[in-house]
């Protein structure tokens, strides 16, 4: 019984430590990705639909419900934008959203 608990504690530590290190090292980058995710949400049809049907406050405050989706979308966005966000983090610039210009 005691060996089982020790093994579980070790596994928990072995799983959590790399995640904590990753968040400690890349925390600023993830914060900037969150800014990009909020920008993507404000540009989405979902935000516009919520704004038109209800009001702006509701549309802005319901970002938490869909934040994971837009964070993943920002994380898998174009490499140019991710590179800019990474460089902003390295150079300690303030977080800002980025968009690609349409090539007409």
Average pLDDT of the segment spanning 61-80: 81
Round to whole Å and give the CA distance between 89 and 96: 11
pLDDT tens digits for 17-53?
888 888 888 788 888 888 888 888 888 888 888 888 8
Average pLDDT of the segment spanning 3-22: 85
Domain ranges of the chain: 27-90
More confident residue, 1 or 51: 51
pLDDT band at 104 (very low <50, low <70, confident <90, very high): very low
Q: What is the pLDDT of residue 80?
A: 87
Q: Is the pLDDT of residue 61 over 80?
A: no
Average pLDDT of the segment spanning 61-90: 84
Q: What is the pLDDT of residue 1?
A: 56
Question: Tokens representing 52?
Answer: 């038109």
The dihedral over CA atoms of 35, 62, 72, 94, expressed in degrees to the nearest 10, equals 10
- Give the chain's mean pLDDT: 82
Q: What is the DSSP letter of 54?
A: T
């Amino acid at each position: 019984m005691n060996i089982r608990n020790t093994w579980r504690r070790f596994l928990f530590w072995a799983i959590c430590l790399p995640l904590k290190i990753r968040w400690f090292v890349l925390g600023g980058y993830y914060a900037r990705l969150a800014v990009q995710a909020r920008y993507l949400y404000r540009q989405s049809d979902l935000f516009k639909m919520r704004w038109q049907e209800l009001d702006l406050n509701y549309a802005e405050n319901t970002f938490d419900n869909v934040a994971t989706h837009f964070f993943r979308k920002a994380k898998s966005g174009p490499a140019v934008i991710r590179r800019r966000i990474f460089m902003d983090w390295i150079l300690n610039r303030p977080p800002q959203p980025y968009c690609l210009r349409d090539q007409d």
